[in-house]
Structures are given as C-alpha cells and as structure tokens.
C-alpha cells in the first residue's frame, strides 16, 4: 500500500464519555485535570473507565465509546462500518467528520469531508431547500459559483423540485435526507461519510443513492465511508469492511467475511429481535430467534445460501402469555427493490403451532431446491393468534444473500413479473 494513496488515517482513536452528567461532574475533578495539564502530564481520567458493553452493568462512571481504533482508507475505497447498536459506529463517524474530537489519537485526511450523520444535520428549518443547498455548499468550502453550476443536478437528483423553494421545516424526513444526500454527493467532496440516514429514504431513493455512491467511488475515484445495518447494501457497495464490537475493531478486511463474523458469534447466528424498532403486534408472543440449516442439518450463514440447495429455516418464538396456546407463523420474501416474490403461512400446512405458557418453541420452514436466483432478498416475519390477532410482525427481519450455481440444472427459475411459487413445508 503506497502512502500517497492513503486519503484517511486513524491512529489510536479513543473516545471517553462520563455517564449521567456533562463534563467530569465535580469541581475537584476539573481542577485535577487542569493541574495535570499544566504540569504536562496525561489526563488522569484516561486511566479509568470501562469498555463499551451496554448490555452489562458497570462499576465506573466513565466509559470508552471507542478504544484504540487504527485503520487506513485508500482513495476510491468504499469502507463499510458495521456492528451492533451502541458499538461505536456513529461516534467514529462524528470524530472522522470533526463533529466531535477524540479523547486520544489523531485523524489525518486529505481533502474535503461531507457528512450525512443525522436527518436534518446542517439544515436550517426556516430556509428553503434552495437556500440550504447554498448554505451546505458554503459549509463544505464551495464558492457560490461552484454551487450554482451544480444546483440543477442536485435538485433533479433529490426529487424535491416541486418543494425546493419551500422552507425545509415543512419537508418530511425522507425529503430532507434526499436533499442532504444530493448536496453531499454532487458538491464533490474527497471523502463522503454516510451514517444510517439512508434507511429513512424509500426503496427507490436508496437504490439511486447506492448507484450514485458507486459512481462516486469507481468513476470519480472518491472515498466513501458507509455505516449501515443493511448487510445487502454493505455487500453490494463496499470494497472493505470494519466490524466494531464494544468500541473496538474486531475485524478489518473482506466484506463477506466481515458480514459473516457480524452475523455469527461462536457458531450461532445472532439476530437480536428485541432491538427491532419497526415491529407491530400485541407482543404476547414474540419471534426471538432464526437459524438456517442445510440438508445435513449443519448451520449455514445467510450469506452462503446457494440456488437449488435444500434448506430449513428454524424460527424460535417465545410465549409471554398464560392464555395463548396456539399461533400461526408467516414468512414473505421480497426483492431489494421491494417487490413481493412469495409468501407462506404455517396455517396452510399444519394445525396451530402448540405453545406452552411462558415457554419457547421452534417451528421449521423447509424449502427443498431453493428456487431463488443469485442476489439479495429481504424476509418479513409474522406471528398471529386466534385470541388476539397479530402478535408480532417484523419488517425487513432477515437479509438473504443467494449465490447462483450455474453448473447445476436446478438453478433454472427466473422471476416472473408476479409472485413465484416455492415448494415448501412447515412443521413443529
């Protein structure tokens, strides 16, 4: 790796926060920091603090949101940054964007950085969309002439032309993200930093945005840092990936290997269904687990499915009620563009899934000769009871990555314009 191609370098980046209160919390702590500083000694509070594991109760008031982060990014790379909620992804991007400063370490960059961190960041609600384009451009260091030369492209790409002279405070969150992304992408920053904000946009815009990011990196040789929980988008867009766990880098390298490591912990595929925000239902019965097996009953990563393979999907549900004794489960398959491809419910194949009070049960959906061609798919999961109706519905619960096997004759199914039929069975 040649030094001249490195456009961003993070050296020993750490970020410490004090829990509960702003600052160090006491005058004595502030005086202690000051006394150490004027004597040229290290901040004494850097020696305390616990790792960023939000699932455990700590004994210290200090926490390291990031600790010892080191990596380099080459010009033209698209770096994916993935990890569970609270792993430190957004904190890292805010440091890279100079929104906040690191407690220790240095960031070295070449050129302008444009950031999309939160919906509406850098926009003034009372100003129109057009005025905000000029405001954001100025913040990025562009001249008025440069912005004017790009403004028609920005407005057209954003799809907000009808509302461009309307104050941004009247925009929906999706419209705001569209305009913010268009400004950041078309004003030609050397480094484009994007947090999960694209998830706010609709499927059409997400597709446009990913296409534009590919053009920026491949065609224009610019660098993109991309944080997302959408593993399909990370796989399709990124050339390399970082996995953050508890504020530390646990993997840096191949995108598919990084995603596999993210989805797999000690051989178990991990889906923390309790973290899903976009779920509906009464909640007396919840979907709490999902595992995939091949015809030898070996666990398979969702990134390693193959067209024509025989698979079983094991769905675990938990009954939080003493009254519900039976449920029906459903699963639907969508393309990445949002088209429904197929759907199935257990009620067409078996009697009610039998539940015991306050217990877990596993239900199996078996699909022989998987007829999906190579690509990425999204699964929705649902659960309903006769007693209360819809108990749980999780949109975009699972991402499937399917590899085509062109050497076999089983991979012959092409998607028609309507739904496809899958040979399958449910059992408990």
Supply the pLDDT for residue 25.
Answer: 56
Supply the pLDDT for residue 312.
Answer: 92
pLDDT class for 27, splitting at 50, 70, 90?
low
% pLDDT > 90, the chain: 7
126-148 pLDDT, tens digit each: 899 899 889 888 877 778 888 89
CA 210 and chain centroid, separation: 13
Model pTM score? 0.60
Segments making up each domain of the chain, as ranges? 70-263, 268-427
251 three-state secondary structure: strand
Q: What is the pLDDT averaged over residues 96-101?
A: 82
Supply the pLDDT for residue 300.
Answer: 85
pLDDT class for 311, splitting at 50, 70, 90?
very high
**Res 416 pLDDT > 60:** no
% pLDDT > 70, the chain: 80
Q: What is the pLDDT averaged over residues 215-219?
A: 77
Supply the pLDDT for residue 204.
Answer: 73
Contact 388, 282 (CB under 8 A): yes
First and final CA of the chain: distance in angstroms? Answer: 54
Q: What is the helix (H) or strand (E) element at residue 114, kind and residue range?
A: strand 113-116
358-393 pLDDT, tens digit each: 888 899 999 988 888 777 788 889 999 888 888 899
Q: What is the pLDDT averaged over residues 150-167?
A: 88
With a CB cutoff of 8 Å and minimum separation 6, the contacts of 417 are none
Output 321 or 265, whichever has higher pLDDT.
321
1-17 pLDDT, tens digit each: 444 588 888 899 888 87
Supply the pLDDT for residue 54.
Answer: 47
**Res 67 pLDDT > 80:** yes
Produce one character per residue of 61-80: b if its CB has 16 or more CB atoms within 10 Å, e if not: bbbbbbbebebbbbbbbbbb
With a CB cutoff of 8 Å and minimum separation 6, the contacts of 24 are 18, 30, 33, 45
108-129 pLDDT, tens digit each: 888 778 777 766 667 888 899 8
Taking each helix axis as running N to C, give the angle between helix 144-158 and helix 129-139, from 0 to 180 degrees, rounded to the nearest 10: 130
Question: Which segment of 90-94, 284-288, 343-347, 406-410 scores lowest on mean pLDDT?
Answer: 406-410
Average pLDDT, the chain: 78
Supply the pLDDT for residue 119.
Answer: 61
Supply the pLDDT for residue 383.
Answer: 92
**Res 59 pLDDT > 70:** no
Supply the pLDDT for residue 423.
Answer: 78
Beta strand spans in 120-239 (E): 191-194, 223-227
pLDDT class for 19, splitting at 50, 70, 90?
low
> What's domain 268-427's superfamily in CATH?
abc- transporter (atp binding component) like domain (2.70.50.60)
Query: Exposed, middle or buried: residue 211 (CB in 10 Å: 0-12, 13-18, 19+)?
Result: exposed
Q: 194: closest CA among 230, 226, 217, 228?
A: 226
Contact 180, 125 (CB under 8 A): no
Q: What is the pLDDT averaged over residues 40-52?
A: 59
Q: How far apart are alpha carbons 356 and 69 in whole angstroms?
A: 47
Number of CB atoms found within 10 A of residue 16's CB: 20
Supply the pLDDT for residue 50.
Answer: 47
The CA-based angle 145-192-213, given to 5 degrees, is 95
Please tell me the class of the 70-263 domain.
alpha beta
Q: What is the pLDDT averaged over residues 188-215?
A: 75
Supply the pLDDT for residue 313.
Answer: 92
Supply the pLDDT for residue 203.
Answer: 67
Supply the pLDDT for residue 417.
Answer: 40
């Amino acid at each position: 790796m040649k030094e001249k191609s490195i456009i961003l370098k993070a050296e020993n980046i750490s970020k410490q926060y004090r829990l509960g209160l702003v600052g160090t919390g006491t005058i004595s702590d502030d005086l202690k920091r000051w006394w150490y500083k004027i004597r040229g000694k290290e901040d004494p509070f850097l020696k305390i603090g616990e790792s960023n594991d939000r699932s455990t109760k700590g004994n210290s008031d200090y926490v390291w949101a990031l600790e010892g982060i080191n990596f380099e990014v080459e010009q033209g790379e698209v770096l994916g940054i993935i990890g569970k909620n609270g792993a430190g992804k957004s904190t890292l991007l805010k440091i890279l964007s100079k929104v906040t400063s690191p407690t220790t370490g240095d960031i070295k960059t070449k050129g302008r950085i444009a950031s999309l961190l939160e919906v509406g960041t850098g926009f003034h609600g009372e100003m129109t969309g057009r005025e905000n384009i000029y405001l954001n451009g100025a913040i990025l260091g562009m001249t008025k002439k440069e912005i004017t030369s790009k403004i028609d492209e920005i407005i057209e790409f954003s799809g907000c032309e009808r509302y461009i002279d309307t104050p941004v405070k009247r925009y929906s969150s999706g419209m705001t993200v569209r305009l913010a992304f268009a400004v950041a992408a078309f004003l030609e920053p050397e480094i484009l930093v994007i947090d999960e904000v694209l998830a706010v946009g609709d499927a059409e815009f997400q597709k446009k945005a990913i296409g534009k990011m590919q053009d920026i990196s491949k065609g224009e040789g610019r660098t993109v840092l991309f944080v997302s929980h959408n593993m399909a988008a990370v796989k399709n867009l990124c050339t390399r990936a970082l996995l953050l766990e508890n504020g530390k880098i646990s993997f840096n390298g191949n995108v598919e290997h990084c995603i596999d490591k993210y989805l797999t912990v000690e051989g178990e595929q991990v889906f923390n269904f309790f973290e899903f925000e976009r779920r509906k239902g009464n909640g007396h019965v919840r979907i709490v687990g999902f595992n995939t097996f091949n015809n030898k009953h070996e666990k398979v990563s969702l990134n390693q499915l193959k067209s024509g393979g025989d698979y079983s999907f094991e769905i675990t549900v938990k009954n939080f009620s003493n009254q519900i004794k039976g449920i029906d489960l459903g699963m639907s398959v969508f393309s990445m563009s949002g088209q429904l491809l197929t759907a199935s419910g257990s009620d067409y194949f078996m009697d009610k899934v039998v539940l015991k009070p306050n217990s877990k049960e596993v239900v199996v959906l078996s699909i022989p000769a998987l007829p999906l061609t190579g690509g990425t798919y999204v699964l929705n999961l649902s659960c309903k009871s006769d007693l209360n109706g819809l108990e749980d519905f999780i949109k975009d619960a699972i991402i499937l990555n399917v590899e085509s096997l062109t050497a076999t004759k089983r991979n012959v199914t092409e998607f028609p314009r309507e739904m496809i039929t899958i040979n399958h069975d449910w059992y408990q």
